[in-house]
Amino acid sequence: MCKKYIKTTLLFLCSLLLLTGCGNITTTSTTDQKAVSSQSDTQSSAKADNDTTDLKSNTAQPQKNDSDQTKDSNQTEKSSADQKSSSAQTQKNSPAKKSNTTQSKKNSLSKKSASNHVANNSSTTKTSSKLLVHFIDVGQGDSILITQGKHAMLIDAGNNDKGTTVQLYLKKQGLTSLDYVIGTHPDADHIGGLDVVIYKFDCKKILLPDCTSNTATYRDVLSSMKSKNYTATHPAAGQKFSLGKAQFTITGPVQKYNSTNDNSLSLRLTFMQSSFLFTGDVTQNAEPDLIAKNKTLQADVLKIAHHGSKYSTTSAFLAAVSPKYAVISCAEGNSYGFPCARVLNLLRKNHVKTFRTDEQGSIVATSNGQTISWNTSPSTSWKAGESTKQHTTSNRQTKKSSSNTNTSKKIDKNASYVINTSTKKFHLPSCYSVKKMSVANTQSTKASRSELIKEGYSPCKNCNP
């Protein structure tokens, strides 16, 4: 019983303890709830306060934004002013830019002009660095144009009917003036066209040999000179002249001769390492004097004297000149039979490359100071004037006899002298040389000895007329 009571009491106490614990738990929960509620309220209040603060802050923000807007507006106005200032500066700079653009264009044009000037100078330099020698085709005669840069000279101008031919040739080369005009001697096939040249061009210096001729052709030359107040210079052997970067020396005549041919002005032209020798119509009578009186006659190019006639270009003279090239100026099928076989054979034997106007027309040699080039290849025909007609020995003998008969018939018994129109010599009618003259070259005359000499004829050394 007692045990049961104790057990009941213990159960009661346990229950009470349990009940007490639950109450505490409930009380704690309520308190916690209140705390939580209070905390929630506090948080809500704080949140509300924060919201109010945020609201106030937001309310104040627009005011701040208004201030910023004002500042922004001012900044915009300032920016606008800057833009206007920039625009004004741009407008102000625009003329400068335009000026710069114009200047740039001017500079561009200047550069272009400079470029063209350089190109022109380059072209001019190319031309000025060369020497050109034109052997103009004037038929039976001589005419030679020489240019070096802007400088030019003319040696002879062909016969009376070739003046215009030479004039047009010079104009084609763009020439209006000539530094030198040279008439080698008074024969018509050399100075015939000079009067036209003198009339048409500005001639700075005229060189003629110190010999005259009583012919209409010679008088025409003097008349043309007089009309332009020109006076001729008679240069002496050894005298030197300049033609741009080229120079030429008078090589003859070294003395006075009776023959106009031997009184021909001859000259040696040099351009750096290149050299040319021009001999007019000098014959074998004067050639030894040229060799003796000149320090050198050596030349790369030799203009063969007297159109390649048998009276000029001896082996001794050719050896003294020792040319690489030779040029013969004569007409195709000329009545004189130029060039002769002897001269051609001599040139061929010495391996001289030969050019001929009768076969090749005008011939141009170009020198750069070291080498010489040509506008055509050398002739390879080696055809002599005498051999243009083929005959048998008997036919040649018959022709010779016939020629002698015709010659004797042609000679006037009352004639004072017989002249050879080819060699420009006059003979006594009884002279042995008259029998050898061809009919075409034989002419009787009653002129006096002095008259013939004035006309450019020289007395035969065999008969001494």
Please write the tens of the pLDDT for every residue from 415-452. Answer: 788 888 777 788 888 776 777 677 767 888 888 888 78
Average pLDDT over residues 341-357: 97
Q: Looking at residue 386, what is its pLDDT?
A: 64
Q: Looking at residue 69, what is its pLDDT?
A: 44
- Give the position of tokens 């937001």: 58
Contacts 24+ apart (CB under 8 A), 296-301: 296/268, 297/251, 297/268, 297/321, 298/322, 299/268, 299/275, 299/323, 300/274, 300/275, 300/276, 300/324, 300/325, 300/372, 301/133, 301/275, 301/276, 301/277, 301/325, 301/326, 301/327, 301/365, 301/372
Q: Which two tokens stand for residue 140?
A: 């039976």
Whether residue 39 has pLDDT greater than 80: no
- Pick the residue with more confidence: 264 or 70? 264
Q: Looking at residue 301, what is its pLDDT?
A: 98
The Cα 257–Cα 48 span in angstroms is 144
**Tens of pLDDT along 278-294?**
999 999 999 999 999 99
Q: Looking at residue 62, what is its pLDDT?
A: 40
Q: Which two tokens stand for residue 175?
A: 């020439």
- Percentage of the chain beyond pLDDT 70 is 66
Q: Confidence class of residue 127 from pLDDT cuts 50, 70 and 90? A: low
- Give the position of tokens 């040699």: 365
Q: Looking at residue 273, what is its pLDDT?
A: 97
Q: Looking at residue 14, what is its pLDDT?
A: 63
Average pLDDT over residues 105-117: 43
- Percentage of the chain beyond pLDDT 90 is 55
Q: Is the dihedral of CA 362, 372, 340, 455 positive or negative?
A: positive
Average pLDDT over residues 238-252: 98
Average pLDDT over residues 21-36: 42
**Tens of pLDDT along 128-165?**
789 999 999 999 999 999 999 999 999 999 999 999 99
The Cα 76–Cα 60 span in angstroms is 24
Average pLDDT over residues 256-276: 97
Q: Which two tokens stand for residue 144?
A: 């030679």
Q: Looking at residue 429, what is its pLDDT?
A: 83
Average pLDDT over residues 85-109: 46
**Tens of pLDDT along 385-418?**
964 444 333 344 433 343 343 434 456 667 788 8
Whether residue 43 has pLDDT greater than 60: no
Q: Looking at residue 299, what is its pLDDT?
A: 98
> Which helix (H) or strand (E) element contains residue 333?
none
Q: Looking at residue 456, what is its pLDDT?
A: 78
Q: Which residues contact 128 (CB under 8 A, 6 or more apart)?
A: 148, 149, 150, 244, 245
Q: Looking at residue 428, what is its pLDDT?
A: 86
Whether residue 38 has pLDDT greater than 60: no
Q: Confidence class of residue 191 from pLDDT cuts 50, 70 and 90? A: very high
Q: Which two tokens stand for residue 270?
A: 């040099």
Whether residue 325 has pLDDT greater than 90: yes
Whether residue 373 has pLDDT greater than 80: yes
Instruction: Kindly report the average pLDDT of the chain as a whole number.
Output: 78
Q: Which two tokens stand for residue 71?
A: 């500042």
Whether residue 79 has pLDDT greater than 60: no
Whether residue 60 has pLDDT greater than 70: no
Q: Looking at residue 417, what is its pLDDT?
A: 86
Could you tell me the CA-to-CA distances from 168 to 136, 163, 174, 176, 196 in Å, in that order? 11, 9, 10, 11, 11
Q: Confidence class of residue 256 from pLDDT cuts 50, 70 and 90? A: very high
The Cα 309–Cα 304 span in angstroms is 9
Average pLDDT over residues 261-272: 98
Q: Looking at residue 400, what is its pLDDT?
A: 39
Q: Confidence class of residue 5 from pLDDT cuts 50, 70 and 90? A: low
Q: Confidence class of residue 4 from pLDDT cuts 50, 70 and 90? A: low
Whether residue 232 has pLDDT greater than 90: yes
Q: Confidence class of residue 111 from pLDDT cuts 50, 70 and 90? A: very low
Taking the CA atoms of residue 13, residue 18, residue 19 and residue 22 in that order, the dihedral angle to the nearest 10 degrees is 160
Average pLDDT over residues 330-349: 96
